Amino acid sequence: MPAELAPIDLDKAGQEMYELVADLYPICRSITGHGVRETLRRIQKRIPLLLREVPTGTRVFDWTVPKEWNIRDAYVKDWRGERVIDFQKSNLHVVSYSVPVRARLPLDELRGHLFTLPEQPDLVPYRTSYYREAWGFCLAHRRLLELADGQYEVCVDASLEPGHLTYGECHLPGETSEEVLISCHVCHPSLCNDNLSGIALSTLLAERLASRSCRYSYRFLFVPGTIGAITWLSQNEGAVERIRHGLVVTGVGDAGRITYKKSRRGDAEIDRAARHVLGRSGDDFEIREFSPYGYDERQFCSPGFDLPVGCLMRTPHGSYPQYHTSGDDLRFVHPSRLADSLAKCLQIFEVLEGNRTYVSQNPKCEPQLGRRGLYRAVGGQADPGQAEMAMLWVLNLSDGRHTLLDIAERSALPFSVVKRAADILGEHALLRESAGPSRALAERTGGRS
Amino acid sequence: MPAELAPIDLDKAGQEMYELVADLYPICRSITGHGVRETLRRIQKRIPLLLREVPTGTRVFDWTVPKEWNIRDAYVKDWRGERVIDFQKSNLHVVSYSVPVRARLPLDELRGHLFTLPEQPDLVPYRTSYYREAWGFCLAHRRLLELADGQYEVCVDASLEPGHLTYGECHLPGETSEEVLISCHVCHPSLCNDNLSGIALSTLLAERLASRSCRYSYRFLFVPGTIGAITWLSQNEGAVERIRHGLVVTGVGDAGRITYKKSRRGDAEIDRAARHVLGRSGDDFEIREFSPYGYDERQFCSPGFDLPVGCLMRTPHGSYPQYHTSGDDLRFVHPSRLADSLAKCLQIFEVLEGNRTYVSQNPKCEPQLGRRGLYRAVGGQADPGQAEMAMLWVLNLSDGRHTLLDIAERSALPFSVVKRAADILGEHALLRESAGPSRALAERTGGRS
Amino acid sequence: MPAELAPIDLDKAGQEMYELVADLYPICRSITGHGVRETLRRIQKRIPLLLREVPTGTRVFDWTVPKEWNIRDAYVKDWRGERVIDFQKSNLHVVSYSVPVRARLPLDELRGHLFTLPEQPDLVPYRTSYYREAWGFCLAHRRLLELADGQYEVCVDASLEPGHLTYGECHLPGETSEEVLISCHVCHPSLCNDNLSGIALSTLLAERLASRSCRYSYRFLFVPGTIGAITWLSQNEGAVERIRHGLVVTGVGDAGRITYKKSRRGDAEIDRAARHVLGRSGDDFEIREFSPYGYDERQFCSPGFDLPVGCLMRTPHGSYPQYHTSGDDLRFVHPSRLADSLAKCLQIFEVLEGNRTYVSQNPKCEPQLGRRGLYRAVGGQADPGQAEMAMLWVLNLSDGRHTLLDIAERSALPFSVVKRAADILGEHALLRESAGPSRALAERTGGRS
């Protein structure tokens, strides 16, 4: 990856991502339906995204693509005809995948279909009922307490019928067919951090990478959570062997510190690259061990695939009070945080792009750097600078068994400095690229499926 | 091992063990002789114990079964005919394996045969002279100071003659011929924590296991320390390859915290099971590294066997002031501590019994738990409960390379919860048992001798 | 190595080393020339040192042996004819390898050839210009400030002509042809800690080892830094495979704590021996990870050799203010510190000499130590002493896979105690020496080049 990837106008990128979040915010997305299609179409304006449609009933491993759900309107009216719960005001008010209903029923009976958060009485929760046919409404607990006894008119004007599951796929070819996978989920309605922030970051990332030549090919997935990832994996089993690194991007716009959750392997190259980048950022950060709960890393890291896919986020899901509530709105995400997440994402990919393995062409003793103009002329001074130290480290460890990231970690030097040293040494014919341990690993992984 | 093993009436068990200790306390045991036989006969009332008799002079590896020692009486009388040291009052007063003697000698000469503890002047020490023919008496140092100069009459009415070494063996067949070995020593006279507590715990453990069906076969050894274990190993070399796990049980009745001493291997399955159980008990505990000093783990873990045998105790030998003195009496052990040790022992075996390895039958992506009724129906809520997390962990790591204990450790969930999740998933045909790494290890170990 | 190596008259040895440092201090050494020869000749008075002469122009890997530099006089005179900078007062005043020059030039022009330490205004720096033909003078910054404007007469009466690079080599044959390499640099002029301390320690070490029979052969190199080590390696590639352990000795006379810098491998036997010795010394110490900067370990640990060579020093180069200045004089090194460094060096070699691997001849259960008089006769006492514990450890771990150093580390016993236990057990035919893991490793290493 060219060095120019890193210097990016972060203010501008942050603003653009925020505007994309705002643009997509009102759309009522679910795991299927027009909301996803409309979202993907707007992303298509920026990047070469293909929309894939998979018919209802398609078997995808242990699952089946569900019926397509579309909703036009939904409300609960009181006896005066006033909409006391109104889908038009917020799509969170309807339990996602609610079946159509038109009924009159007393408050006591209605209560069984209402979801609130008693401990956060001003927030509307986000609820779904994908795999059990039911209907329901979500509302602020304070609002529920205000509802008087009496008859209410309920309407969910939705359809749940055979159709398609829709997802988006954007493939950016690189120098090699080896791939980096970036995946985000697109199935949440008006929630900003949880789904829109990842969508926006993925979009700008793809936009940026599309304009450059990279070592790796990059594949972006914009998929409904769980069923979308399962569908893609089911229909692309052959493609999986090309994936060398992967990242699920989600919840990257809030004010919390950056968090990287490791792949199931725990020591995949992307795990080490992320740790290197976050550890040297100067910012607070957290590295989490893998767990089989979270986002679509659950599927990518299932034992039959065990892909080297981590997850980049800020505050992890479930650990901020606005999570899956109406509080996850446009005030909860920030252009500067989106930009910071994008920058760290690019830095991680920069490590992956540059993490090659070399063999010193002068393995016996040090080569004479001085006569090549690579070493200070006056001797006797104290320690050399970082650049000279990096050259010595690269020469010492370039035995075909250490990647540049290995060398950066052992020397405690920034990867970029080590990479630059390797580039200079390569220009002087002091290094030759080697298949290296990472390639050997990659081949083993690739040969797996 | 059935789950019902754990729920045990601990108060009752503790009381029974304490009564057994009290019953066996007066008997004068040594490494051979009637004391051991009488002890084993009383244990036979509770469990199917076979008494083995090995003749004096039998070669057992580098050792030889010694002569049989039996004692009827022993004393030191002063010139008034008063017994100033009297075996009838406590069998600790005679150095174990003292040769017969009848003599009159002055105090100065007698002193060379007297053993006391000057720093614990009220306690009688426990001393032996197994492999050098000698005689001696042990007494409280305060008592020694009271002895006036003068002639003393010494009598050890004992026999040291060709006979047998006696030990007890109880074999409980399980589903497989793979064995768990439990060993305790039976060679100490009136010492409660050091030998009787282990005898009592082993007896109740065998009693309990005898009434149930287990995956493993269990073999209990009640042997004289060192020479007994060496004799058993020497005469059962062929049986050793069946031993998958083992535990030396000793010093399990005092008030100290529970201590597990690892096997020589350090990472044997029983080492990990013990750490898991003790670490999650909520009680204070200690895990000790292996050392070639202590109890019969010295023999089981000698390099020619290197069996996966750990040692369960409370306060380690030598580190309590009552150790090997008359202070290790019926007040030093407690029913509740015996019960706690038994409970932890059972929990460790519960892990071993249940520690199987599985292969997910849906390794590619998660199986759809919801349609099997194994997952909550309403989506969007925060983290799932422990039971659901355990199912996700088991599915994710069941690739034939992780045992359930591996999964419990990586997920930081209790083994019992992970086991239950695996059972449920198995009932839904989502798992299939695999030979697994533990079996592969077991086979390697088994094929060793 | 005989145990008598350790008890050495340290006061006397410290004094002798200090006197050798003082004797060599005035000589103007550089990477070639008479200063090195004179230094080596004085060392020859004590040890059987061979002087090697390698002609200018000889190719040594990526390098070329440089012209030989010799200097007779050098000064800067002011207009009154007064020597304001005078080589006769201190050889540090001339930049090493300055080309001959005779000129008159104004102060402003002269300044470009003057080197000072503005932050240490009273000290004269040490500077070199080995691989770029130039001339220069070093002086105290305070002296520079005193120089008045005006014309100065400059003279460097030196020669830089084809000749030889000189180094010294001392080989002490041992029982086997396997070698321990000790290397020090001999290329610095009047600097005491940095070069003379290492020279003095190496000399006394060789003197001592020459008078004894050792398991290993020892090879001492007294070489100009970098180019000397490269030259030796280049001309002795075949000899490298015999090197089992190595130590660069440098900066061993200052008052700082002892420091061991690990070999590139990080877990070589000498790394572990040094850690064992320093960790048990009771003195403050530091273990440093390898880095490809420092002394000639850079060459010995280059990837094409990767020799198990560490570096023993006190305060590391560059981290004391007197480093490479006139402050590194006879007041900066101390007989007692030289002696302490020598003692630790000898202790490390003592571990290497004694670090053998054994196989117990009674691997099944413990052998009966008592009947061999190796174990106390009266049983029942608390823990045995260190000597008995060491025997038990050696017997337990002597399975051909543990060296005595492994056993010392695992048992937390001093190596000498473990060694003594092994010797006693060997005398009783309870152990047989085995090729062991260290030999297997040595063979792998030896077969490398």
pLDDT digits (tens, 9 = 90+) for A296-350: 999 999 999 999 999 999 999 999 999 999 999 999 999 999 999 999 999 999 9
Biggest alpha carbon–alpha carbon distance for chain C: 93
Task: Find chain A residues with C-beta within 8 A of B393's C-beta.
Answer: 291-292
pLDDT-based confidence at B85, cuts 50/70/90?
Answer: very high
The predicted pLDDT at position B340 comes to 98
Report the alpha-carbon distance of residue B35 to residue C287 in Å, rounded: 57
3-class state of residue A257 by DSSP: coil
Task: Find chain B residues with C-beta within 8 A of C398's C-beta.
Answer: 303
The predicted pLDDT at position A442 comes to 46
Which of A7 and A232 is assigned the larger pLDDT? Answer: A232
- pLDDT, tens only, B121-173: 999 999 999 988 999 999 999 999 999 999 999 999 999 999 999 999 999 99
Helix axes A10-24, A335-354, angle to 10 degrees: 120
CA-based nearest residue in chain A for residue C96: A379
SS3 content of chain A, % helix, strand, coil (to 5): 35, 25, 40
The residues facing A45 across adjacent strands are none
pLDDT-based confidence at C278, cuts 50/70/90?
Answer: very high
* Cα→Cα distances A413→A40, A409, A425, Å: 41, 7, 17
Distance from CA of A330 to the nearest CA of C (A): 50
The predicted pLDDT at position C439 comes to 52
The predicted pLDDT at position B435 comes to 85
3-class state of residue A438 by DSSP: helix
The predicted pLDDT at position C154 comes to 98
Average pLDDT of the residues in C303-324: 97
CB atoms within 10 A of CB A125: 21
Counted across chains A and B, CB pairs separated by less than 8 A come out at 92
The predicted pLDDT at position A22 comes to 98
- Residue A441 pLDDT exceeds 80: no
pLDDT-based confidence at B439, cuts 50/70/90?
Answer: low
- pLDDT, tens only, A404-424: 999 999 999 999 999 999 999
Cβ(A187)–Cβ(A321) below 8 Å:
no
Counted across chains B and C, CB pairs separated by less than 8 A come out at 92
In what side-by-side order are the strands of the sheet with C68-77? C83-86, C68-77, C151-161, C101-106
Task: Give the distance from CA A429 to its chain's centroid.
Answer: 39
- Residue B195 pLDDT exceeds 50: yes
Using CB atoms, list chains with 3+ pairs below 8 Å to chain C: A, B
DSSP annotation of A192 = I
Cβ(A350)–Cβ(A414) below 8 Å:
no
Model confidence, pTM:
0.92
pLDDT-based confidence at B8, cuts 50/70/90?
Answer: confident
Average pLDDT of the residues in C423-430: 97
3-class state of residue A6 by DSSP: coil
Stretch (H or E) spanning C168: strand C164-172
Cβ(A44)–Cβ(A186) below 8 Å:
no
What's the whole-number average pLDDT of chain B?
A: 94
The predicted pLDDT at position C1 comes to 37
The predicted pLDDT at position B376 comes to 74
pLDDT-based confidence at B4, cuts 50/70/90?
Answer: very low
What's the whole-number average pLDDT of chain C?
A: 94
Q: Which long-range contacts (CB under 8 A, 24 or more apart) does C238-243 make?
A: C238/C449, C239/C179, C240/C305, C240/C307, C240/C449, C241/C445, C241/C446, C241/C447, C241/C448, C241/C449, C242/C177, C242/C178, C242/C179, C242/C217, C242/C446, C243/C179, C243/C180, C243/C181, C243/C219, C243/C307, C243/C308, C243/C309
Planar angle of CA C139, C144, C148, nearest 5 degrees: 140
The predicted pLDDT at position A438 comes to 54
The predicted pLDDT at position C376 comes to 74
pLDDT-based confidence at B381, cuts 50/70/90?
Answer: low
Helices (H) and strands (E) in chain C, counts: 13, 19
Buried b (16+ CB within 10 A) or exposed e, B146-183: ebeeeebbbbbebebeebbbbbbbbbbebeeebbbbbb
Lowest pLDDT segment from A18-22, B71-75, B382-386, B430-434: B382-386
Average pLDDT of the residues in C172-178: 97
pLDDT-based confidence at A295, cuts 50/70/90?
Answer: very high
3-class state of residue A386 by DSSP: helix
Identify the CA nearest to B198 among candidates B7, B51, B42, B345.
B345
Amino acid at residue number A12:
K
Note whether B380 contacts A318, CB cutoff 8 Å.
no
Identify the CA nearest to B309 among candidates B366, B247, B254.
B247
Using CB atoms, list chains with 3+ pairs below 8 Å to chain A: B, C
- Residue C442 pLDDT exceeds 70: no
- Residue A351 pLDDT exceeds 70: yes
Q: Encoding tokens for residue A291?
A: 């767990």
Handedness of CA C14, C20, C24, C25 (dihedral sign): positive
The predicted pLDDT at position C7 comes to 59
pLDDT more than 70, % of chain C: 94
The predicted pLDDT at position A383 comes to 65
Average pLDDT of the residues in A62-66: 97
Mutate to test the interface with B, among A30, A62, A119, A120 (most CBs of B within 10 A): A62
Task: Give the distance from CA A421 to its chain's centroid.
Answer: 32
Strands A258-261 and A243-249: unpaired
Mutate to test the interface with A, among C127, C243, C302 (most CBs of A within 10 A): C302
Residues of A with CB under 8 A from a CB of B: 60-63, 95-96, 115, 125-132, 134, 226, 229-230, 233-234, 237, 264, 291-293, 298-299, 301-306, 318, 323-324
Residues of B with CB under 8 A from a CB of C: 60-63, 95-96, 115, 125-132, 134, 226, 229-230, 233-234, 237, 264, 291-293, 298-299, 301-306, 318, 323-324
Report the alpha-carbon distance of residue C393 to residue C419 in Å, rounded: 11
Task: Find chain B residues with C-beta within 8 A of C402's C-beta.
Answer: none
The predicted pLDDT at position C58 comes to 98
Distance from CA of A263 to the nearest CA of C (A): 29
Note whether B411 contacts A303, CB cutoff 8 Å.
no
The beta strand positions in A314-440, using DSSP E, are 357-360, 399-403, 431-434
The predicted pLDDT at position C381 comes to 65
Note whether C303 contacts A360, CB cutoff 8 Å.
yes
Strands C431-434 and C309-313: unpaired
Report the alpha-carbon distance of residue B407 to residue B426 in Å, rounded: 16
SS (H, E, C) chain B: CCHHHCCCCHHHHHHHHHHHHHHHCCCCCCCCCHHHHHHHHHHHCCCCCEEEEEECCCEECCEECCCEEEEEEEEEECCCCCEEEECCCCHHHECECCCCEEEEEEHHHHHCCEECCCCCCCCCECCECCCCCCCCEECCHHHHHHCCCCEEEEEEEEEEECCEEEEEEEEECCCCCCEEEEEEECCCCCCHHHHHHHHHHHHHHHHHHHCCCCCCEEEEEEECCCHHHHHHHHHCHHHHHHEEEEEEECCCCCCCCEEEECCCCCCCHHHHHHHHHHHCCCCCEEEECCCCCCCCHHHHCCCCCCCCEEEEECCCCCCCCCCCECCCCCCCCCHHHHHHHHHHHHHHHHHHHHCCEEEECCCCCCCCCHHHCCCCCCECCCCCCHHHHHHHHHHHHCEEEEEHHHHHHHHCCCHHHHHHHHHHHHHCCCEEEECHHHHHHHHHHHCCC
Mutate to test the interface with A, among C131, C267, C315 (most CBs of A within 10 A): C131
Task: Find chain A residues with C-beta within 8 A of C96's C-beta.
Answer: 379-380
Planar angle of CA A157, A162, A167, nearest 5 degrees: 95
- Residue C438 pLDDT exceeds 70: no
Strands B50-55 and A101-106: unpaired
- pLDDT, tens only, B251-276: 999 999 999 999 999 999 999 999 99
- Residue B382 pLDDT exceeds 70: no
Amino acid at residue number B212:
R
DSSP annotation of C365 = S
* Cα→Cα distances C81→B26, C71, C145, Å: 108, 21, 19
The predicted pLDDT at position B384 comes to 74
What's the whole-number average pLDDT of chain A?
A: 94
Task: Find chain A residues with C-beta within 8 A of C95's C-beta.
Answer: 378
